[in-house]
Structures are given as C-alpha cells and as structure tokens.
Structure 1
Amino acid sequence: MTPVQTLKTAAEALAPLRSGQRVLIGSGAAAPQGLIEALAARARNLSDVEVLHLMTLAKAPYAAPSFQGHVRHNALFIGANTREAVGAGFADYTPCFLHEVPGLFRSGHLPLDVALVQVTPERDGRCSLGVSVDVVKAAIESAAYVVAQVNANMPWTEGDSTVAVSDIDAFVESDTPIFEFPVREATAEALWIGRYVRELIEDGSTIQVGIGAIPDAVLAALAGKKDLGVHSEMISDGVLDLVNAGVITGRMKSLHPGCVVTSFCMGGKRLYDAVNGNPQFLFHPSDYVNDPVIIASNQKMVSINSALLVDLTGQVAADSLAGRLYSGVGGQVDFVRGATASRGG
C-alpha cells in the first residue's frame, strides 16, 4: 500500500519545487513520465531549474527550446530524447565516470534538491526501484525532497534495489506500462561483427555488453557458448535469451556465481516479467556494478562496447561523432578499466 498521509496528485507533489533547484529524474525504462509532465508544467512558472539524469526512455519536454530560462537540462549520459538539445546548445553534458556519480550526490559535490523516481508498491516498509537502480538509489538517499511514482507494473527486483518508505516524501500512484525498448533488426554488418566478437570470448567468461543493434547481434552470436556469466551496467532481451538457452549460467563466475549482476535493464515485457522477484538477477547501484575494482574481481571479464569511429591506429571514439556529442562516456571507461585488470580478462 501507499502511505495515505503522503499520497498526492502529481501537481501537488511538485508544488514545493522552487527556482534554482536541481532535480534528478529516474533512469531508463523507470523514468516517471507522469512526474516529468508535472515537472514541465510547474517549471513554466519557475526559472533556472536544472534537470539531471542518465538516459531515459521517457519524453523530455523540458529539453525544448521553449523552456530556456525556465529549465536547463544537464545530461550525465545523452539519450535520443535530449541529443538534439545538447547539440543545439539548449542542454549540457557533464562527462563523468558513472561509478563515481552516486558518490557525487552523497558528498554534496553534486547536491540534489529534488529526486523524481518510480517504485513498486510498498512491502514491509520498503519499495523496490525495479528495473533501474543505477544512480537512483543514491539520489533518493541524498535529495532533500523525494517524489515517487508508485506503479504496480514495476517489477520487484532482487539485490540492493530497495529503499525505505520513510526516505520518500510524497507518493503519486500511476499504474502505467513500463517503457519498453524495442529490439532492432540486425544489419548484415552487425551480424558479421557479432560473429567476429564471438571468436574472442572463451567459454566461462563473464561479459559486459551495452545496448543497441550491434550489442544485440553480439549476444545472438553467442548461442552455443558454455557457462558464460554477466556483470554488466545494463541487460537487455538478448541476455534473457541466453539465460533461457542455458548459455549464461554464471557457474564459473568468481563473484556472485550463478547470478546476473546489473544496475538496470531495458527491453520488453518478457524481460521485466523474468526479473520480477527472481534472485538469479541481482540489481545493484552503479557505484558497485561499475566500480573497476569490483569489475576486475570477475575472472575472465570481457567488456564489449560499441564504437562510433575507429582509426587505423586502433584509437576509438565512442562518445561523439563528427565533432558533436552523441551519447557521452557512460560506463564504458569503468568496464574497460575493470576488464583490463581482470585475471584472464
């Protein structure tokens, strides 16, 4: 149940927002669209509000040029819904190592006034952050004012994924479908890349893989491999397919054997149903999952990431294209460092 004394409408919950405050929005498929719409409506009457988040699948009305002077978006990772705004100068990008972001919130180096998140209904005084734990747990623990959109459709995930009801100042009920991330049809080039990457991954390896057509093609190419493990910033439908096929077992993992470790997932409803209450899938915050020291403690750790450009010397550009920011750094550097330090990685 939602505590009745803190149950509000979205407009009521956003009423305390003031000019000049910094607002963190929940990530990925767990972005609280109802609260985002209320934020946009409230911000029209305010000035110099900073909106901060990782990539979200929600609409981002606050990134439109018409919000200049009212809201300035600051991306920690650039998604499709804010890329144009960043490129046009209507929004900012702050480069960072993703594993350090929760510490920036807690230390006050990046203080948060408000956090807008999405959670499951309460159980025994706690709510699960569901499909996106990443930097959101630290935001809830650090922000002065926390509003949670309570959604009965949100999966209850295992791991370090819950927060106390007492950490949330206002609840807004909205049982909307969780955002889904469609699988794109792989191109011939992506399939070739997947087959090539397959040859570089030994049985018993623990892998990290990103999001998009090429990572999906890589996962599809791993059919037939044995006893792979997963320690990855995010997981998608392709990971679930390999779990169901018996390719990903985690049996050889040196850390959390038998379990898939991640900080968030984006995919279809079948993925969200699979992680619901499933102890095989452990969701932990980014300062754990993306910590290079933790990553390196996985033997035979393999980091698989996308590149936008590669030159003849092997230098890789993954954050920008043709002089314009595309996505930013994200967790790629965290995993490259960790895999490099891994024994056999």
Structure 2
Amino acid sequence: MIDLSKYVSAGDGVWWGQGGAEPEPLVNALLEQVDDIGPIRAFCGLTWNDRLSSDLPDSVPDGLTVLSYGGLGELRRLSRHGLLDVVPCHYSALPRMFERGLLPCDVGLLQVSAPDADGVVSLGIGVEYVADALKYTRTLVAEVNQRMPRTKGSPGLPLSAFAAVVETDRPLREAPIREPDAVDRAVAENVAGLIEDGDTLQLGVGSLPNAVLESLTGHTDLGFHTGMVTDGVVALVEKGVATGARKEIDPGVVVTGAALGSTQLYDRLPDYPIEFRPASYTHAPAVLSQLGSLVSINSAIEVDLLGQVGAELRRGVHIGAVGGQVDFSRAASLTGARSVIALRSEIGGESTINARLRGGVVTTARVDVDAVVTEYGVALLTGCTVAERARRLIAVAAPAHREALMRTLVELS
C-alpha cells in the first residue's frame, strides 16, 4: 500500500475522480491512513466504492470530511447518516470553483491509462472535472491501470506530472444499472416522439435514459453532446442512428466528459468517434449556445404544478444533484431545440407530480422546462399560463392522484 503521508498533510484538501474512473486503491489507502495524517477535506462525485459506506458510520474516518456536488451512488448512504457535505452548484461551475480554491485541490488522486511510447498517459473514461481540477492542484498521485483505455479528445499527461504512481491491472467498475421495465419503456416512447431527426441529445444515466436510447432506433442523424456516454449511446453509433452529421459544432463526433457502463463499452471506446472533453467545454454556456439542435433529456425526483423540478432531495436525504441538469436544460430551452424532464408518475406509491416540491429545493426553474413526460403522456409547458401548466401536468400524473391534485389546484386559484 502506498504511504500517502509523503504527499498529503494535515489540513489538505483532496479530490479524486468519479464513477469507473475513481482510483479506488488510492482512495482506500487514504481511508486507511487519514486518521494518522490528520484532518482532511475530500471532494468526489459519483462513487460506487462501497469501502466508503460499507460499515457506516465507522467506515468514514473521523479525520475525513467528504464533500460532493450531490448524493450520487454510495454517497446517498453517507447523506442518510449526516456524513456528506453537499456543495450545491451547476456542473459548469466546478472548473471555476477549483480555480478559486473553493473546492479541495491540494492533492488530486486520479486513475489513468498505461503510458504510450512517449511516457504519456490518458485520463481515459473520466476527463470531466478531473481535467479542470488538475491544473490548480499542487500534487498529483495516479493509479496507472493497464485496463484504462486511452481515449481521444483531451491532451494526455506525462508520467513526470505525478509525484507518485501505483500500478494496477484491474477491471473498471461497471455501472450498476437496472434493466428498463414496462413503465420506463412507456415514458421513453413518449420522449422519443419529441425528438426530431438530426437533433443533438444530452441524457443522463439509469434505466429510464437507457430506455429512451433504445426507443430511438428509428431516428436518423442524431448527435450527442452530453456529460456522459453509456452502452446505449454506442449502440446507436453502431446502428448508424447517431452520426452527428447535423451537429452545429463537432460534427460527426460524440462529445462527452465520461463513460459509465459495461466493460465491453470501456474496452471498445477507442474504436468509436467519441471525444472526451473537460467540464469547462462539455457544460460551458458559450459552447452549448452554439447547439441550436440541442435536446436535453433529464430525470427528476418530482415536479410541482408550476413546472419546477426537484432532482436532489427526498425526505431530507441527498439522492441526486443539480449536476448538469440546469446547464443543459437552460441551453436547450433558450438557444436549443427543447428541454425535457422525464420521470415515472409514481415512486413507491407516491406521486412524482405534486402541488409543491416535497424536497423543498428547486433544482431546475419552471421557465427552463419545455415538456414534462411520464408514462401517461407529454405535458408541453412553453407558452402556457400558470393555470394551464398545472392542468397539463395533472393530466400526465398517475390517475390515482389526479383528483387530489385538482382539489389543490382549485384551492390555490
């Protein structure tokens, strides 16, 4: 095990990569050693590393404060135990926050590919905020994983950039995705009806986005400019559906910051026209405003009768994030083609369309949402009055909840 005390000091701020790009051996070493090193603040995004949450609250050392932009993956378990500090922000704001020292950036832990003949490594499947953060980070420590693919789109790093490296040969974490069910597929079919040939899409990760991708096989010349790619995106590339031929910028190329999916996806990434760019490009308003064909498709925990979206909290626990939802929704609504929020009408028997947001926090403003889609239909909201928006949202709510929502609407009017 690497001795991180040579590179990390008490009071330091540490960040590490997320998802399949998380340098788990380095993170686990930090968890083992942090109490001996001293108090440390650490920033991470999505994590599937159960070492961080396997025996809560004891699995989080007393000397470690964990920060994130949301409660994704195992971090939601930390949130339930009051062990997660969330920094609410747009994903596009992360680069500037690192630049200004507002996020921990004394030491960066990252996972990279094996070096090429010139000794240069690739950031692989996790470019995103890592590429922006490393520019402002004093000390970099890397896991050089023989199985991390070399990806295109961003400059590599010389081995000399790292204060220390550990070499591994381990599979990358696969995304734990549930197969879409009949409800997911019904929502997806309604979403697919809103997408035109030649549109440029942004989607998230999960069973519902996967179902949307599966429903698009009849389209042509779709493009992708998105925060992450999955197996479903690559499947559309293979079928000739996603050509990117009509994209206003980066034509013919899938632009992303990260890949989250299967080992097969990771292994074959170099074979596809996919370019990995930093968050300062993928989510930048100046970049997104050039995509007049942009359709953003985002999920949510709930939507209220004004059309406001909650995608962060449920019963006081962070289970989501602002992430890139607002970056893409606003761009798609203002300068792109359409901003879509897609969700199941019920979760656990509770309506996801409510008079007021139960989570108490607005993630995406009502003016940045063009359409809300459930398995019961599409509520087109742009240009509608407040009352008409509410009526259209009630019409796509689960039937068992519509009467109560109508009574609420009458009381509010």
- Which TM class, normalised by the smaller chain length? over 0.9
1:294 aligns with 2:316: no
C-alpha distance 99-41 of structure 1, shift in aligned 2 (>3 A): same
| Mapped contact 1:219–1:239 kept (Cα < 8 A) | yes
| Mapped contact 2:107–2:138 kept (Cα < 8 A) | yes
Structure 1 residue identity aligned to 2:207: A
* Residue of structure 2 equivalent to 1:7: none
* Residue of structure 1 equivalent to 2:48: 57
Stretches of structure 2 that go unaligned for 5 or more consecutive residues are 339-413
1:20 to 6, 11, 14: 11
* Residue of structure 2 equivalent to 1:259: 253
Residues 22-58 of structure 1 show CA distances to partners (whole Å, capped at 9, x for unaligned) of 1101111110111111111111313321111111222
| Mapped contact 1:29–1:58 kept (Cα < 8 A) | no
| Mapped contact 2:18–2:45 kept (Cα < 8 A) | yes
Counterpart CA distance in 2 for 1:27 and 1:291 is 20
Structure 1 residue identity aligned to 2:34: A
TM-score, normalized by length of structure 1? Answer: 0.92
What SS is found at the alignment partner of 2:95? helix
The structural deviation recorded for 1:76 is 1.8
Counterpart CA distance in 2 for 1:161 and 1:97 is 25
* Residue of structure 1 equivalent to 2:180: 186
TM-score, normalized by length of structure 2? Answer: 0.77
| Mapped contact 2:47–2:75 kept (Cα < 8 A) | no
Counterpart CA distance in 1 for 2:236 and 2:255 is 14
2:227 to 229, 233, 249: 233
2:169 to 154, 171, 175: 175
* Residue of structure 2 equivalent to 1:31: 22
C-alpha distance 62-71 of structure 1, shift in aligned 2 (>3 A): farther
Structure 2 residue identity aligned to 1:12: D
* Residue of structure 1 equivalent to 2:314: 321
1:212 aligns with 2:206: yes
* Residue of structure 1 equivalent to 2:111: 118
Counterpart CA distance in 1 for 2:272 and 2:213 is 22
Counterpart CA distance in 1 for 2:89 and 2:134 is 20
The structural deviation recorded for 1:293 is 2.0
* Stretch deviating more after TM superposition (103-112 or 289-298): 103-112
C-alpha distance 279-185 of structure 1, shift in aligned 2 (>3 A): closer
Residues 232-285 of structure 1 show CA distances to partners (whole Å, capped at 9, x for unaligned) of 001111101111111100011111100000000100112112212x46100000
| Mapped contact 1:62–1:73 kept (Cα < 8 A) | no
Counterpart CA distance in 2 for 1:240 and 1:279 is 8
C-alpha distance 79-48 of structure 1, shift in aligned 2 (>3 A): same
What SS is found at the alignment partner of 1:95? coil
Counting only pairs closer than 5 Å after superposition, residues 88-107 of structure 1 correspond to structure 2 as 88-107=81-100
| Mapped contact 1:158–1:283 kept (Cα < 8 A) | yes
The structural deviation recorded for 1:343 is 4.4
* Residue of structure 1 equivalent to 2:135: 141
1:242 aligns with 2:233: no
Counterpart CA distance in 1 for 2:159 and 2:122 is 10
Structure 1 residue identity aligned to 2:57: P
| Mapped contact 2:230–2:261 kept (Cα < 8 A) | yes
Residues 114-141 of structure 1 show CA distances to partners (whole Å, capped at 9, x for unaligned) of 1110001122242100000011112222
Stretches of structure 1 that go unaligned for 5 or more consecutive residues are 1-9
Counting only pairs closer than 5 Å after superposition, residues 272-311 of structure 1 correspond to structure 2 as 272-276=266-270, 278=271, 280-311=273-304
Counterpart CA distance in 1 for 2:163 and 2:150 is 21
Counterpart CA distance in 2 for 1:310 and 1:109 is 31
| Mapped contact 1:293–1:338 kept (Cα < 8 A) | no
1:75 aligns with 2:68: yes
| Mapped contact 1:68–1:90 kept (Cα < 8 A) | no
What SS is found at the alignment partner of 2:71? coil
Q: Compare CA radii of gyration and give the structure with the larger one.
A: 2
The structural deviation recorded for 1:68 is 5.0
C-alpha distance 14-239 of structure 1, shift in aligned 2 (>3 A): farther
The structural deviation recorded for 1:14 is 4.8
Percentage identity across paired residues of the two chains: 36
Counterpart CA distance in 2 for 1:161 and 1:193 is 39
